[in-house]
Amino acid sequence: MSLPFITFSRNVFIPLTNICRNKCGYCGFRRMIGEPEAKLLSPTEVMDTLKRGALAGCTEALFTFGERPHEVEGFMPLLMELGYDSIIDYLVELCRLSIRLGLLPHSNPGILEAWELKKLKPYNASMGLMLETVGIIDAHEGCAGKDPELRIRTIRTAGELGIPFTTGILVGIGETWEDRVRSIHAIREIHEEFGHIQEVIIQNFIPKHGTKMASCPSPGLNEMKKTVSMARQILPGDVAIQVAPNLIGPKELIRCGASDLGGISPRTIDYINPESPWPNIMELQAMVDLPLRERLPVYPQYIKRKWYSKEIAQLIHSLSDAEGFRKPY
């Protein structure tokens, strides 16, 4: 379904920890225990970011971190210094803090078990996990969490639990065209069963210095246009296609079927792609032909269906208009 506007959300990006069990060939975010940049954010650091976001009119707190960091030797002592013995329990407390400060949490912590999703569900407006690809690629060698079946299982479990969900594919990480098509079909099949996938990100690979894929080229605009067009043809009309305006010019991709520009932060950088700054809202509008419309981290159709918990109901009501988009402020 074509809309007369392009959507985005205003968020703060909170990289809770960059310690991760995976060693993806394209990732510049991951750090090892003992490296100077290895980090687990404290509650005070998170609170500071949330407060700055609230003052800037943000409605979303994007919590993301390395997958299952507690499986990495040396991580648990860092967590226990903060008074927690579970990264999920720590995330729940930070989501509660976010809600108190007026921002709706959207957590993207990687592969999760059903009990972890159940624990996080009441305190998240939506959640996410990139499928990335159903293909078996060299960049994922030795990465337990990049088994496509495990990622599909998490996405399906989120559907069983009725969690509005974001997923997507990475383009240019060594997958074939057939892998991309199969990945989009897999997402469609899950959504047709559970109806919970609100958006699919089509994200172009950006090479990172110091990684195995540092010398690999990014996919060109024509390749991205072809991929967005394919995804739009396959996905149901109620699933938005999102592209990242700090990674690629969105205008021609919108003409191919993209309708959302994701989270734009006025207060934090893109910690996954720190070399690519966010545009401000005026710059964002200049990048597209249609008017912008701000949404919450949960899409309007799920607000109308009341796919949210009592823990966040009051905040959703205070932030959303009659159509389920961001209320003017």
DSSP 37-96: T--B--HHHHHHHHHHHHHTT--EEEEEE-SSGGGSTTHHHHHHHTT-S-HHHHHHHHHH
Please check if 143 is assigned to a binding site: no
Please check if 20 is assigned to a binding site: yes
| Block residue for tokens 């399906």 | 156
The pair of structure tokens assigned to 233 is 């043809």
Q: Containing H/E element for 302?
A: helix 300-304
> What's the gap between Cα 245 and its chain centre?
14
Tell me the sheet residues that pair with 263.
9
- The DSSP letter of residue 127 is E
Q: Where are the alpha helices (DSSP H) in 56-199?
A: 75-81, 87-100, 114-120, 148-160, 177-194
Longest CA pairwise span in the chain (Å) = 51
Please check if 24 is assigned to a binding site: yes
Annotated binding site: 20, 24, 27
Annotated binding site for [4Fe-4S] cluster: 20, 24, 27
